[in-house]
Structure 1
Amino acid sequence: MDPAVITERVAPPLIAGEREMLRAYLDFHRSTLAMKCDGLSDEDLRRQSMPPSTLSLLGLVRHMAEVERAWFRRVIAGEDIPLVWSPEGDFQVAYDASKATRSEAFDAWQAEVVHSRRIEAEAESLDVTGHQAKWGEDVSLRLVMLHLIHEYARHNGHADFLREGIDGTVGA
């Protein structure tokens, strides 16, 4: 991904069916994270917030690749695959982006988003379920989409602060 690329972010509809609304809000938050990274070098994207935190924009992108993979591929599709950066299933490993590059992080994240969109589109309804082994419970696609919207919204707040610390850019 070219750092000069400007991410297009489409506002979700004001009136739509449940599934269309969930898709639109999830895509809105995905593009918000990408937007927060626009125009930054790999070094900027690896810049950590403040000690002792190792949080960085690239760490957030890597983390969200793991989140997409875990919830859509492992839970809903039932694929028996390890996480991208941690065969042991440790989501925190993704946050260490000290040697990561934009292309490595974004390629992995965007590949997982493609899988997630396919899995969601192929599901006959939001009531399709998968097993969340960590919880020992079955969960619906609806819950997964809502969970990811929540996860992106929370991390996009972190991305706001990280971006402001890098170059003063704030907003949206």
Structure 2
Amino acid sequence: MTTIERTEPSTLAGERAMLEGWLDYHRATLAAKCAGLSDAQLRQTSVPPSELSLLGLVRHMAEVERAWFRRTLADEDAPPLYYGETDPDGDFHVGEDATWDEAYATWQAEIARARELAGPLDLDALGKGRRERTTGEPYSLRWIYTHMIEEYARHNGHADLLRERIDGATGD
């Protein structure tokens, strides 16, 4: 089984280092929950009627990274990768053709782009894009980082349960 290195941020880090550190920690946690599993195991769902799977979570988080950093922060033209009008939850609907290699590469590319876009900005910088399900007000980079940590933390809880169901592995 592949070991994923996770490093908790320093308890004395500044605000930006703390936010980026916790975001990276949670990104690594999701990768660790998927490590060492086959594509078939990663496609296994929890319990009916849920279609939640580890592979679906990775695809979802690629979409979340893309939405918040590319569309909301930078106002890039970055259409959805796995979902659309005909299947709004397509990121979670993984077929037999869905693979770890593709999903992981896509997720990592979105993380790299997120770092590239956020890197030169101050935490108070406002996103150039707007979110369709909100008031239309801009979001600060600080808010986006905080939300991303919350999003990963919630889904990592799901990943814990999925992984335990697949092979009994537990732990944070």
Q: What's the TM-score, normalizing by structure 1?
A: 0.93
| Pairs within 5 Å for 1:52-71 | 52-71=49-68
Q: Does 1:141 align with 2:141?
A: yes
Count of residues in correspondence between the two structures: 168
Q: Give the aligned partner of residue 105 of structure 1.
A: 103
DSSP 3-state at the match of 1:54: coil
Q: Does 1:157 align with 2:157?
A: yes
CA contact (8 A) 2:84 2:90 kept: no
CA contact (8 A) 1:82 1:89 kept: no
Specify whether residues 113 and 39 from structure 1 end up closer, same or farther in structure 2 by C-alpha distance, changes over 3 A only: same
More deviation in 97-106 or 38-47? 97-106
Question: Which runs of 5 or more residues in structure 1 are unaligned?
Answer: none
CA distance in 1 between counterparts of 2:123 and 2:11 reads 20
More deviation in 91-100 or 17-26? 91-100
Specify whether residues 126 and 148 from structure 1 end up closer, same or farther in structure 2 by C-alpha distance, changes over 3 A only: same
Specify whether residues 138 and 90 from structure 1 end up closer, same or farther in structure 2 by C-alpha distance, changes over 3 A only: farther
CA contact (8 A) 1:160 1:170 kept: yes
Q: Give the aligned partner of residue 132 of structure 1.
A: 130
CA distance in 2 between counterparts of 1:97 and 1:13 reads 37
CA contact (8 A) 1:120 1:141 kept: yes
1:22-42 Cα deviation digits (max 9, x unpaired) = 000000000000000011000
CA distance in 2 between counterparts of 1:74 and 1:81 reads 6
Q: Give the aligned partner of residue 45 of structure 1.
A: 42
- Give the drift of 1:5: 2.8
More deviation in 57-66 or 73-82? 73-82
Q: Does 1:28 align with 2:11?
A: no
More deviation in 61-70 or 5-14? 5-14
What percentage of aligned pairs have identical amino acids? 54
Q: Which amino acid aligns with 1:137?
A: E
Specify whether residues 101 and 164 from structure 1 end up closer, same or farther in structure 2 by C-alpha distance, changes over 3 A only: same
Instruction: Please provide the CA RMSD for this pair.
Output: 1.4
Specify whether residues 126 and 28 from structure 1 end up closer, same or farther in structure 2 by C-alpha distance, changes over 3 A only: same
DSSP 3-state at the match of 2:89: helix
Q: What's the TM-score, normalizing by structure 2?
A: 0.93
Q: Give 1 or 2: higher strand fraction.
A: 1
- Give the drift of 1:83: 1.2
Q: Give 1 or 2: higher helix fraction.
A: 1
1:81-130 Cα deviation digits (max 9, x unpaired) = 2011135496521001133100011011000000011111121x011111
Question: Which runs of 5 or more residues in structure 2 are unaligned?
Answer: none
Q: Give the aligned partner of residue 6 of structure 2.
A: 9
